[in-house]
Amino acid sequence: MNDRSDSKLHLNRDHAQHLLREMLRIRRFEERCAELYTEEKIRGFLHLYIGEEAIAVGVMQCLTAEDAVVTTYREHGHALARGLPMTHLMAEMYGKQEGCSRGRGGSMHLFDVARGFYGGSAIVAGLLPLAVGLGLADKLQGRDRVTACFFGEGAAAEGEFHESLNLAALWRLPVLFVCENNLYAMGTALERSQAETHIYRKAQSHRIEAEVVDGMDVLAVEVAARRAVAAIRAGEGPRFLECQTYRFRAHSMFDAQLYRDKAEVEAWKQKGPLLRFGHWLEEAGLLDAAGRARIEADIEAELAAAVAFAEAGTWEPIEDLLKDVHTPGTSTRSLTREDSGEPNLD
């Protein structure tokens, strides 16, 4: 296994297989979540990361257990790669008390303070100020910690993105900004919403060193992230990676995808991170068919255990639903059985 604080990637058989395994865990977890969604075991929003796995996996290799991570609502992959147990994640998807956010967060709000995983945030660009705040606290308190902040290219059109990058650069904060540029923000193509489509240039305009990375290549991501994290740890201030990628599925679970051609999606699938890296491992003699089958069987067993854990989990009692919920102008009270109708989503 690689030393997480090393600035260089050392590729051996174990590490190469580890990268594939981590990407496959994410892929299979999400495919299963999509099935469970159609079975109505998982409800609410569900944004799949399928196609983008190389970014979370590549970056996470470079962080230590002390580092911090903040992400968007498309964060199942980041949580798994960070080491949150699949059982706790699946229970959270179900809304069960045994989930990592005690069933209160669901897919978009995975959280685990012990593992330095500070969400899971539903508000586009809302996590960037959070990352800058963590970085500022670390700098003021003299902690040797890096905060990795993952967000989509849609965030670069928000004011919070620029305010955050400005302050991070001005105060030389230990933050790694990772833009996952998948070319679309919901149904809006990047060139239809932003005049500057090279997101890394926006970071450069704030005097942050920025790099464009092939986000479909896990090794390219890890190499770039190692370089960036080493510079941050050396006190050089923030770094920015624009990882070019593509989501293979709909934005969320309901999306007719009328805004993009099927041929475009197919072309990107051919560049998929699992497909490419899998072939490469085989050709390089680093993983044979039997080895791959063993990895896949392990993941299926892990997944089955996670689903069983979630199924066996418990629902929070209705009486407790208003616990820890603060509504301005009203006092917190316990819910009664009469309150438990269908939620009003207007």
Q: Which residues bind ligand TPP (CB under 6 A)?
A: 74, 122-124, 152-155, 180, 182, 184-186, 251
Please, which residue, 106 or 154, has the CB nearer to Mg ion?
154
- By CB under 5 A, what part of segment 181-210 binds Mg ion? 182, 185
Question: In Å, how far are 234, 238, 247, 256 from 171, measured between CA atoms?
Answer: 15, 9, 34, 44
Please, which residue, 254 or 290, has the CB nearer to Mg ion?
254
Q: Using CB distances below 5 to 8 A depending on partner kind, what does residue 297 bind out of Mg ion, ligand TPP, none?
A: none
In sequence order, what are the residues at sequence separation of 6 or more whose Cβ sits closer than 8 angstroms to the Cβ of residue 203?
Answer: 165, 177, 210, 240, 242
317 DSSP 8-state letter: P
Q: Which residue is nearest to Mg ion (CB)?
A: 152
Q: Using CB distances below 5 to 8 A depending on partner kind, what does residue 69 bind out of Mg ion, ligand TPP, none?
A: none
Q: Using CB distances below 5 to 8 A depending on partner kind, what does residue 186 bind out of Mg ion, ligand TPP, none?
A: ligand TPP
Q: Give min distance, CB of 184 to ligand TPP, in A.
A: 6
- Using a 10 angstrom Cβ sphere, with 0-12 exposed, 13-18 middle and 19 or more buried, the burial of residue 22 is buried
Question: In Å, how far are 121, 178, 239 from 116, measured between CA atoms?
Answer: 15, 17, 20
In sequence order, what are the residues at sequence separation of 6 or more whose Cβ sits closer than 8 angstroms to the Cβ of residue 265?
Answer: 246, 248, 257
Q: Give min distance, CB of 74 to Mg ion, in A.
A: 9
- By CB under 5 A, what part of segment 135-174 binds Mg ion? 152-154
Distance, CA of 49 to chain centre: 8
Q: Give min distance, CB of 50 to ligand TPP, in A.
A: 12
Find, among 119, 126, 118, 120, the residue nearest to 154 by Cα.
Answer: 126
| Residues contacting Mg ion: total by CB under 5 A | 5
Ramachandran assignment for 293, one of left (phi > 0), alpha (psi -120 to 50 degrees), beta (any other) = alpha
Please, which residue, 77 or 152, has the CB nearer to Mg ion?
152
Q: Which residue is nearest to ligand TPP (CB)?
A: 152
Q: Give min distance, CB of 73 to ligand TPP, in A.
A: 7
